[in-house]
Amino acid sequence: MTAAAPYDPSAYEPFAVTVDLAVLTVRAAALHVLLIRRGQEPYAGAWALPGGFLLPRESAEEAARRELAEETGLPEFLVDGVHLEQVRTYSDPDRDPRMRVVSVAFAALVPDLPEPVAGGDAAQARWVPLAEAEAAALAFDHDRILADAREQVRARLEYTCLATGFCPPEFTLGELQAVYETVWDTGLDRPNFRRKVLATPGFVQAVPGGARLTGGRGKPAALYRAGAATALHPPLLRPESPQ
Question: What does DSSP say about strands 122-129 and 204-212: parallel, antiparallel, or unpaired?
Answer: unpaired
Domain ranges for the chain: 15-158, 160-226
**Is residue 112 over pLDDT 90?**
no
pLDDT (tens digit per residue) in 21-74 = 999 999 999 999 999 999 999 999 999 999 999 999 999 999 999 988 888 777
Greatest distance between any 2 Cα atoms in the chain: 86
Q: In this predicted structure, what is the pLDDT of residue 188?
A: 96
Going along the chain, which residue ranges are E strands?
A: 16-27, 30-38, 47-48, 51-53, 83-90, 101-109, 122-129, 204-212, 221-226
Class of domain 15-158: alpha beta
| Residues forming a β-bridge with 34 | 127
Mean predicted lDDT score pLDDT of the chain: 91
What is the average per-residue pLDDT within 137-154?
Answer: 97
Instruction: Look at the pTM and tell me if it is higher than 0.85.
Output: yes
pLDDT tens digits, 177-193: 999 999 999 999 999 99
pLDDT of 242 higher than 70: no
CATH code matching the domain that covers 160-226, chosen among 1.10.10.10, 3.30.420.40, 3.50.50.60, 1.10.600.10: 1.10.10.10
CB 166 within 8 A of CB 110: yes
| Per-residue model confidence as pLDDT tens digits over 185-215 | 999 999 999 999 999 999 999 999 877 767 6
